[in-house]
Amino acid sequence: MKSLLLVAIALSTLVLTGCPKGKPNVPPAIAQRIAKYELDRFNRDLSSYDCAAFGALTEPNAGVTCANLGVPNADPARAKLIRDRVIDRLKANIDALYNDFEEQLFTRRAGSNLLFDITELGSAAAINITNGERAKNIISVALAAFKGGRKSLDENFFKERTIQTIISQMQASRARIEGDIIQKRGKEIGEYSLDEALGDLVNYFYAGTLQKGLQNLAKEAGQNAINAEKRVLQLKNIDPGSVVNLTPDVRGASVMIGKYRRLFLASLKGTPAQKQEANEKLRLIYLDITKNEGFKPIVEKIKKDIPALKPDMDKLEGTEAESKSVAGDQTMEIISEIFRATDLEKQGNLVVALKGFFDSRL
């Protein structure tokens, strides 16, 4: 398992770091050679650690012995040094990757496929140069997971979160894990093994990815909401004029008028037949309004206050041909303005009447 973790981190960091967008691409052959060299170095460190920690290799490695590694006997102090060296090397690679990535997020925000391009590129390259079947499986699964998450993230995430917020979250998560690693480095290998260190480094790597950044952000936001202390406002005085006092009839009628408006707006975007039917119904509702004595001052006021609506209002009240020439959405706008100009508290009867006109025409 140790080597699998090493392979995963080494390949991810090296290949990803080798091909940052906005900089010259590293040719695949060179990237693979560098990756192989780093892998060899990690494997050597891993074997040396085994020899120093346990006095023997825990995983068979053809042609390698503790003696030819220069670690013939168990030496916990040396094992600790090797462990720390592995941590330093991997962490340096991860940091280099992260710094490039963060820079790209700033400079190429519009290219929201960036992360996924990099991840797929890195994982695909890793598959090509990994010998162990299990490692291939792990990386393939990781690749599939990224691809699976791609669509929803592409569509939603830039709309919902600013890059700076996500970067701040990634920085905070990375700093927290880095702090843990630094603290644990002071421990002996019996208390903080290389396996545990590799686990921490994997978490450190993923803390610097967008998916983890978003997850942590959502988790933190949710936790903040759960823990938030909520209380009512304490006010000395309020303006009595700002207190809403609607009767249940007016409240219900207003809500229904809103629902009818949504229905009409939907019909006006529908088929030509639906649109024509909606146009006619709205025209008749307008005429119902104008026949009601209570609405007459309101209609006249709107003609005066909103001159842009007057020509269509006059047409609606004109001959049948003129009346039918007014577009439905314009009639809807006029009726909405009439509703708006009706006082909910003082002219509640008109609001209820308006709702009745809608009821009778639908």
Where do contacts with other proteins occur on this chain (CB under 8 A)? 218, 221-222, 225-228, 230-238, 240, 242-246, 248, 250-252, 254-255, 257-258, 261-262, 265, 332-333, 336, 339-340, 342, 344, 351
Query: Which residue matches tokens 């709205």?
Result: 282
Tell the smallest beta-carbon distance from residue 227 to other proteins (Å). Answer: 8
**237 or 271: whose CB is closer to other proteins?**
237
Tell the smallest beta-carbon distance from residue 309 to other proteins (Å). Answer: 14
Q: Residues of 343-358 as b/e, b for ≥16 C-beta within 10 angstroms?
A: ebeebbebbbbbbebb
**241 or 272: whose CB is closer to other proteins?**
241
End-to-end CA distance of the chain: 69
**198 or 326: whose CB is closer to other proteins?**
326
Q: Residues of 253-263 as b/e, b for ≥16 C-beta within 10 angstroms?
A: bbebbeebbee
**44 or 251: whose CB is closer to other proteins?**
251
Tell the smallest beta-carbon distance from residue 330 to other proteins (Å). Answer: 12
**67 or 221: whose CB is closer to other proteins?**
221
Tell the smallest beta-carbon distance from residue 119 to other proteins (Å). Answer: 25
Taking the C-alpha atoms of residue 130 and residue 136, their distance in angstroms, rounded to an integer, is: 6
**Cβ-Cβ contacts under 8 Å for 75 (sequence gap 6 or more):** 52
Tell the smallest beta-carbon distance from residue 249 to other proteins (Å). Answer: 11
**230 or 304: whose CB is closer to other proteins?**
230
* Total residues belonging to the chain: 362
Comparing CA positions, the residue from 85, 14, 8 lying closest to residue 44 is 85
**141 or 255: whose CB is closer to other proteins?**
255
- Do 207 and 170 form a contact (C-beta atoms < 8 A)? yes
Q: Give the tokens for residue 35.
A: 């990756």
Tell the smallest beta-carbon distance from residue 65 to other proteins (Å). Answer: 54
Query: Which residue matches tokens 């006010």?
Result: 235
Tell the smallest beta-carbon distance from residue 18 to other proteins (Å). Answer: 38
Query: Which residue matches tokens 């490692």?
Result: 135
- Do 9 and 202 form a contact (C-beta atoms < 8 A)? yes
Comparing CA positions, the residue from 227, 187, 156 lying closest to residue 84 is 187
Tell the smallest beta-carbon distance from residue 283 to other proteins (Å). Answer: 18
CA-derived radius of gyration, the chain = 35
**92 or 263: whose CB is closer to other proteins?**
263
Helix orientation angle between 28-54 and 76-107, rounded to the nearest 10 degrees: 150
Taking the C-alpha atoms of residue 326 and residue 279, their distance in angstroms, rounded to an integer, is: 8
**142 or 341: whose CB is closer to other proteins?**
341
Comparing CA positions, the residue from 50, 72, 94, 95 lying closest to residue 195 is 50
Sign of CA dihedral 50, 55, 61, 66: positive
Tell the smallest beta-carbon distance from residue 223 to other proteins (Å). Answer: 8
